[in-house]
Structure 1
Amino acid sequence: MHGTRAVILGAGIVGAACARELAREGCAVTVVDRGRPAAATTAHGEGNILVSDKGPGPELELAQLSGRLWPRIIDEIAERDADVRDLTEWDPKGGIVVATTDGGARELTKFAESQRAAGVRAETLDAASLAAAEPYVTRDHTAAIHYPDDAQVQPSGAAAALLADALRAGATLRSHCEIQDAVTRSGRLTAVRTTDGDLIEADLFINAAGPWAGELSTRLGAPVDVRPRRGDVLVTTPLPPTVFHKVYDADYVGAVGSSAEDLQTSAVVEATRGGSVLIGSSRRRVGFDDRLRPDALSPIAAKALRLFPALADVPIMRAYGGFRPYVPDHLPVIGPDPRLAGLWHAGGHEGAGIGLSVGTARLVRDLLLDRPTEIDATPFRVDRPAVLGTTEKGRAA
């Protein structure tokens, strides 16, 4: 593996995490991005590192792996860069899921029970415990579950920390460098051609282009069905301490897991280190249309007020949105592409890419080195019907 030339196509947090893992193993890593590092999807996320929103299965296992890795990686980087804790704003503050209907309470309780069986810490809160944990949350609730292992980072800062550690290990970065097409020899990807006409040669290429991974994979000759899914967030002016955990309503899991193209909204409320409160969230498939839409922002705000009535008079400072890489079966795409030797994929995490980035990179590293992986990587394989755009029976989807 030492000296292997690896090109990471995408300098968001997933690409940065992959670059770090491979550079520290001695690969000659080049990170290529058509814009600036962490300036697209990564910069438009909330920085969530969650187990609370994932039911038993492969994605939860990847989230649990990532949850173990995040504090260890930050500690490792801190040995070389004392400022990394301030840069990443690592905060293992935990999450609280609140139901406000009887039906929501039943579903939340059932969901938490299934998670506990998979090793997730999920603690039922009574009314007094919830009030102590979140003094400003609604008292009109029917159930609440505390997830101590949920955490948060500042996404751009975390990506910058991972990328900087990769550069310290010898990686190089090429910004404002867009890939036009592929060069193949004997069925193997050997180089990519940029829109400037340059050739970048390597032994392997990792598609970590986030929501643009589908478009990029088509240019490379091995399409994967990764599409953009829009999400929007409101940001309040800085407040005194008001929200102490990541708090969301029990509808959030259903909105994330929905495959519907129309608008899905739920209440997600959390504070940042600077005092602003982030209010989400929405999911809608609108291609790469980047307009902010009142019909998405208004229901987000209304649902957040059901959770935190005290926010009613708080000014909204700004709103932002971004594209999440959506795969129809809601599982990431991680590993080698069997159709084109030399091409790998690391993406399709939708809104969970910040949290799952380091676990994804660890899987990529171990698969490349032919090491045993810490979790089963098979469910994330590239040749799944959902990824290749076919049904289980092989018909076009």
Structure 2
Amino acid sequence: MVVGAGVVGAACAHGLARAGLSVAVVDRGPVAGGTTGAGEGNLLVSDKAPGPELDLALLSARLWRELAAETGDLGGERGDLGAGPVEYEAKGGLVVAPDAVALKALRAFAEGQRAAGVAAAEIAAGELGALEPHLAPGLAGGVHYPQDAQVQPARAAAHLLAASGAALVLGEEVVAVLRDASGAVLGVRTARRTLSAPVVVNAAGTWGGQLAALAGVTLPVLPRRGFVLVTEPLPRVVRHKVYAADYVADVASGSAALQSSAVVEGTPAGPVLIGATRERVGFDRSLSTEALRRLAAQATALFPVLGGVRAMRVYHGFRPYLPDHLPAIGPDPRAPGLFHACGHEGAGIGLAPATGALIAAAVTGALPPLDPGPFRPDRAFPEEDHPAAGPGAGSVNLHSVRSREGDAP
């Protein structure tokens, strides 16, 4: 039994089915109705330092590419959009440095990544234009990451679920995790039915801590809100996933305050997607004009051509964040039969296949594809502060945001 029909839950169902098990998936909403549906589909290795998360990302990058090959989803030699069900696009990433100091730090970061198996090629300032003709002049240089890719997240989740053959129970919230007198898991209960299973996989994303609590265990998953700006359709003015080097520090930060670092990418349909912000404001869904101002200012600083472009819409979601920046993957010894697959923050889509492989190995007792130790759900977590309130609401477009005072990030 997998709780959660986002891409991580779908990958767990897929991995378990491939291991020969019958699987059911239950979710209070539709497929990809939570964080997955609010994601950009990033499959990134470029933003991860050497360590357990990068190992997980490299395994997932290989598994995503294998899945795309199986489904006929690999694009052409230039990384064109795949024709298959997950819309795999091997677009590559480009991380740019505004000055010599940032370039030196980026160079050292990339050197460590290369030692861990990442393909990373330094790009001189004069060569950036060949990769991205519309980049702002004056940048000090960058690093190209050809392994960075993208999928359409909702379609990817739907395909993995369909391929798993899992029985779907959608629109039903889990209200109890059933356990016997010894504490072992027996299944779950929704408002409509009881679903019996000897194994329950917590893939509830941002709500993973709440599901864990229903099983009588603690898992400190916190929501970390993020916004994405979507422009009007354009010619393909941005070829790669492009971001400034300070984005890596934002990803690794545990700050509760608003952080923003523009990640800019084109889409096959024409609109440009502009992320990414991070802030811990609970489940506050109000619109933050400050977050959008920062994104617009940073995006147009990278790509001045976007200065006169309209933002057609804004969307946001909540990343499932754990204080030590690693997901919880594997069995919970406090509740036999309970397995966790949550807390991936903004990397869940990229890390999903490897997570599913680890869960399948843990459930069946097979040899895991990498060391699961760092992802133990019962590991010690650092204590964190919690913000009390979120920002206000408003509306925004790229032109008006950019013209206001106080736009600087």
Q: TM-score, normalised by structure 2?
A: 0.89
Given candidates 216, 232, 242, the residue that maps to 1:247 is: 242
How far 1:77 moved relative to its partner?
4.0
| Deviation per residue, 1:225-247 (Å, 9 max, x gap) | 11110010000011011000000
| Deviation per residue, 1:337-396 (Å, 9 max, x gap) | 010001000011100000000011011111222222221111001111118x69xxxxxx
1:102 aligns with 2:100: yes
| Deviation per residue, 1:160-200 (Å, 9 max, x gap) | 11111112xxx20000111111221122011212133x211
SS of 2:249's partner is helix
Tell me the distance in 2 between the aligned counterparts of 1:129 and 1:102.
Answer: 16
Identify the residue that residue 393 of structure 1 maps to in structure 2.
none
How far 1:148 moved relative to its partner?
0.7
Tell me the distance in 2 between the aligned counterparts of 1:120 and 1:159.
Answer: 26
Identify the residue that residue 153 of structure 2 maps to in structure 1.
155
Given candidates 119, 129, 132, the residue that maps to 2:130 is: 132
Tell me the distance in 2 between the aligned counterparts of 1:9 and 1:233.
Answer: 27
Which structure 2 residues correspond to residues 1-397 of structure 1 after superposition, within 5 A? Answer: 7-78=1-72, 85-167=83-165, 171-185=166-180, 186-196=182-192, 198-386=193-381
| Higher mean displacement: 24-33 or 355-364 | 24-33
| Deviation per residue, 1:69-106 (Å, 9 max, x gap) | 00112233459xxx984432111110000011333222
How far 1:25 moved relative to its partner?
2.3
SS of 2:296's partner is helix
**Counterpart code for 1:361:** G
How far 1:129 moved relative to its partner?
2.1
**Counterpart code for 1:220:** A
SS of 1:385's partner is coil
Tell me the distance in 2 between the aligned counterparts of 1:84 and 1:320.
Answer: 25
How far 1:311 moved relative to its partner?
0.6
Q: Which runs of 5+ in 2 are unaligned?
A: 74-80, 385-409
SS of 1:217's partner is helix
Alignment CA distance shift 1:100-1:383 (3 Å): same
| Deviation per residue, 1:235-294 (Å, 9 max, x gap) | 001101100000000110111111000001001000111011000110000111111210
| Deviation per residue, 1:287-329 (Å, 9 max, x gap) | 1111121011100110111110111001111010000000000
Tell me the distance in 2 between the aligned counterparts of 1:78 and 1:113.
Answer: 34
Identify the residue that residue 3 of structure 1 maps to in structure 2.
none
Tell me the distance in 2 between the aligned counterparts of 1:255 and 1:223.
Answer: 26
Tell me the distance in 2 between the aligned counterparts of 1:117 and 1:71.
Answer: 22
Tell me the distance in 1 between the aligned counterparts of 2:18 and 2:167.
Answer: 13
Tell me the distance in 1 between the aligned counterparts of 2:89 and 2:319.
Answer: 23
Tell me the distance in 2 between the aligned counterparts of 1:141 and 1:134.
Answer: 12
**Counterpart code for 2:365:** D
Say if 2:124 and 2:140, in contact at 8 Å, map to a contact too: no
Say if 1:77 and 1:84, in contact at 8 Å, map to a contact too: no
Say if 2:3 and 2:201, in contact at 8 Å, map to a contact too: yes
Alignment CA distance shift 1:84-1:241 (3 Å): closer
Say if 1:229 and 1:326, in contact at 8 Å, map to a contact too: yes
SS of 2:94's partner is strand
Tell me the distance in 2 between the aligned counterparts of 1:365 and 1:77.
Answer: 21
Say if 2:72 and 2:84, in contact at 8 Å, map to a contact too: no
| Deviation per residue, 1:47-74 (Å, 9 max, x gap) | 1001000000000000000011001122
Identify the residue that residue 4 of structure 1 maps to in structure 2.
none
SS of 1:319's partner is strand
Tell me the distance in 2 between the aligned counterparts of 1:335 and 1:21.
Answer: 13
Tell me the distance in 1 between the aligned counterparts of 2:183 and 2:132.
Answer: 57
Say if 1:97 and 1:145, in contact at 8 Å, map to a contact too: yes
Say if 1:234 and 1:316, in contact at 8 Å, map to a contact too: yes
Say if 1:48 and 1:152, in contact at 8 Å, map to a contact too: yes
Tell me the distance in 2 between the aligned counterparts of 1:240 and 1:78.
Answer: 26
Say if 1:246 and 1:269, in contact at 8 Å, map to a contact too: yes
SS of 2:25's partner is strand
